[in-house]
């Protein structure tokens, strides 16, 4: 264990791109990093009477905390971030619909003649003691308690070739992946494209369904702890997630079937490399054992996942056991109170 680094950004330190920004701090492989992240609206939508379109200004949506420079990280390496904990920073969260955003409405590229959807806001109560978020219907008295399942919608590294990408866009560098698999206990892997990797995170969700159909999850500010590790000389082409029981590959593209193909291709070739199976044997195995949940079908690129349970993969050790080591480190770390 090296250090526990705590970082809470000032308002001017939030970033709205991956790439194109100087680092806000440096970390070393082995460090723990505790950060505060703001919700996708910057914390300004606090009432059902406040519409995001009135108080948020494009492109200043989806702020992320970072970037963080990882000492020793070079293009061709892989950055491993183990999510130790994700804790809501407030007792409320927010969701909304937008007139020209979401899977079930007209957009600027899917033009139709019916009127746009209403812009409407919902405020959720977060009850951490009970482990729930409470949804209140806007036009009736219905209240439903849903399981609290904190995750980060946006996490990634700087793209290659001096590119700067909006935090609203998911791609090979990560970004706005919007998958509920990015919860505490997982390790997420990114290929390093620039010296220092320059990773950032934000867009906390108190919960989100697969697909993020309306385009907005239960958006919340978060206090998050990450364990940072670096895998030298091994490149990861697309974001990957490892849990205690599964391997997950992520693909981002439009149309949706291309995102599906990217994720499946990565999982098949990853499986072949890990197990020594021929590619067609790995293709057959994933075809019969894999799952393919959607991350989002609303962002500028869509996100699809390909996942397989480790029990189907013989002789498996991904990234030489980094996930298990980081999991153990997190379990034994003595973290001071918030």
In this predicted model, what pLDDT tens digit does every residue of 7-27 receive, in sequence order? 999 999 999 999 999 999 999
Q: Which of 276, 268, 319 is nearest to 292 (CA)?
A: 268
Task: Choose between 95 and 112: higher pLDDT.
Answer: 95
Q: Within 13 Å, how many C-alpha atoms sit on residue 338's CB side? A: 12
Q: What is the pTM of this model?
A: 0.96
Q: What is the predicted pLDDT for the residue at 147?
A: 98
In this predicted model, what pLDDT tens digit does every residue of 33-76 receive, in sequence order? 999 999 999 999 999 999 999 999 888 899 999 999 999 999 99
**pLDDT band for position 337 (50/70/90)?**
low
How far from 27 is each of 32, 146, 159, 274, CA to CA, in Å?
A: 8, 36, 19, 29
* Average pLDDT for 182-200: 98
Percent of the chain at pLDDT > 70 equals: 98
Q: CA-to-CA distance for 292 and 228, rounded, in angstroms?
A: 28
Task: Choose between 178 and 99: higher pLDDT.
Answer: 178
Q: What is the predicted pLDDT for the residue at 106?
A: 86
Q: What class has domain 4-332?
A: mainly beta
Phi (first) and psi of residue 296, to 5 degrees: -135, 150
Q: What is the predicted pLDDT for the residue at 312?
A: 95
Q: In this structure, are residues 170 and 50 in contact, taking their beta carbons and an 8 Å threshold?
A: no
For residue 36, the tally of other CB atoms under 10 A from its CB is 17
For residue 6, the tally of other CB atoms under 10 A from its CB is 15
Looking at the predicted structure, is the pLDDT value of residue 1 above 70? no
Q: What is the predicted pLDDT for the residue at 264?
A: 98
Q: What is the predicted pLDDT for the residue at 285?
A: 97
Looking at the predicted structure, is the pLDDT value of residue 110 above 90? no
Looking at the predicted structure, is the pLDDT value of residue 100 above 90? no
In this predicted model, what pLDDT tens digit does every residue of 233-269 receive, in sequence order? 999 999 999 999 999 999 999 999 999 999 999 999 9
For residue 75, the surrounding DSSP H or E stretch is none
Residue positions counted in the chain: 338
Q: Per-domain residue ranges for the chain?
A: 4-332
Task: Give the torsion sign (CA, 12, 15, 16, 19).
Answer: positive
């Amino acid at each position: 264990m090296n250090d526990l680094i705590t970082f809470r950004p000032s308002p001017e330190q939030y970033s709205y791109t991956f790439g194109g920004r100087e680092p806000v701090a440096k970390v070393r492989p082995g460090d723990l990093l505790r950060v505060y992240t703001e919700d996708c609206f910057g914390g300004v939508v606090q009432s059902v009477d406040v519409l995001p379109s009135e108080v948020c200004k494009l492109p200043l949506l989806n702020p992320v905390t970072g970037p963080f420079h990882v000492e020793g990280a070079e293009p061709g390496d892989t950055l491993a971030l183990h999510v130790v904990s994700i804790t809501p920073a407030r007792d409320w969260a927010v969701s909304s619909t937008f007139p020209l955003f979401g899977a079930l409405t007209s957009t600027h590229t899917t033009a139709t003649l019916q009127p746009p959807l209403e812009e409407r806001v919902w405020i959720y109560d977060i009850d951490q003691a009970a482990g729930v978020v409470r949804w209140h219907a806007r036009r009736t008295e219905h209240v439903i308690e849903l399981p609290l399942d904190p995750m980060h919608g946006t996490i990634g590294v700087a793209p290659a070739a001096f590119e700067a990408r909006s935090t609203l866009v998911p791609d090979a560098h990560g970004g706005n992946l919007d998958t509920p698999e990015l919860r505490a206990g997982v390790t997420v892997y990114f290929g390093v494209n620039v010296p220092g990797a320059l990773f950032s995170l934000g867009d906390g969700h108190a919960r989100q369904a697969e697909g993020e159909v309306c385009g907005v999850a239960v958006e919340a500010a978060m206090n998050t702890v990450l364990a940072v590790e670096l895998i030298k000389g091994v490149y990861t082409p697309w974001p990957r997630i490892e849990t205690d029981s599964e391997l997950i590959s992520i693909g981002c593209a439009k149309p949706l079937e291309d995102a599906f193909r990217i994720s499946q291709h990565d999982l098949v070739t990853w499986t072949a490399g890990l197990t020594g199976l021929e590619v067609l044997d790995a293709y057959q195995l994933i075809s019969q054992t894999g799952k393919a949940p959607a991350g989002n079908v609303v962002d500028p690129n869509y996100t699809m996942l390909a996942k397989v349970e480790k029990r189907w993969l013989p002789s498996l050790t991904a990234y030489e056991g980094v996930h298990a080591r980081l999991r153990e480190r997190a379990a034994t770390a003595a973290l001071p109170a918030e």
